[in-house]
């Protein structure tokens, strides 16, 4: 049996996929306070990355790490939505899924913090 939602091809598929992506970003921004906070942090830090980074690799690491936090937060929100859609009942597997997503966000934030701290150290201390 084929999926009736998979019939688009070419530019029509790309146009619809872009629309779904924008809907997802809008929904995450409106419904997830953590994503909203991280978005505003990204608005400040991504331009700063191009000032702080001395090479294109440094700029990419600084800006990319910030964008990575947004990506991981979106994936965490998707896991939470899927778990909540299944059931609001407390279950160890549901808790694990949500905790794993939260841990992924934490690790992405820790990595971003370490990259930024190293760049700031290199720029201003050494």
Q: State the catalytic residues.
A: 73
Burial class (CB in 10 A: 0-12, 13-18, 19+), 48: middle
Closest Cα to residue 76, out of 110, 34, 39?
34
Helices (H), the chain: 10-31, 33-52, 56-86, 92-124
Burial pattern 81-109, b for ≥16 Cβ within 10 A else e, equals: eebeeeeeeeeeebeebeeebeeebeebb
Determine the 3-state secondary structure of 4 from DSSP.
Answer: helix
């Amino acid at each position: 049996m084929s999926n009736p939602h998979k019939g688009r091809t070419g530019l029509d598929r790309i146009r619809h996929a872009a629309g779904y992506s924008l809907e997802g970003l809008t929904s995450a921004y409106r419904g997830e306070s953590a994503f909203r906070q991280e978005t505003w942090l990204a608005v400040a830090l991504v331009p700063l990355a191009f000032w702080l980074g001395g090479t294109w690799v440094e700029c990419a690491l600084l800006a990319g790490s910030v964008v990575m936090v947004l990506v991981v937060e979106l994936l965490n929100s998707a896991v939470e939505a899927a778990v909540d859609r299944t059931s609001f009942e407390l279950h160890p597997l549901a808790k694990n899924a949500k905790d794993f997503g939260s841990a992924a966000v934490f690790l992405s934030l820790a990595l971003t913090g370490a990259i930024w701290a190293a760049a700031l150290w290199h720029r201003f201390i050494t």
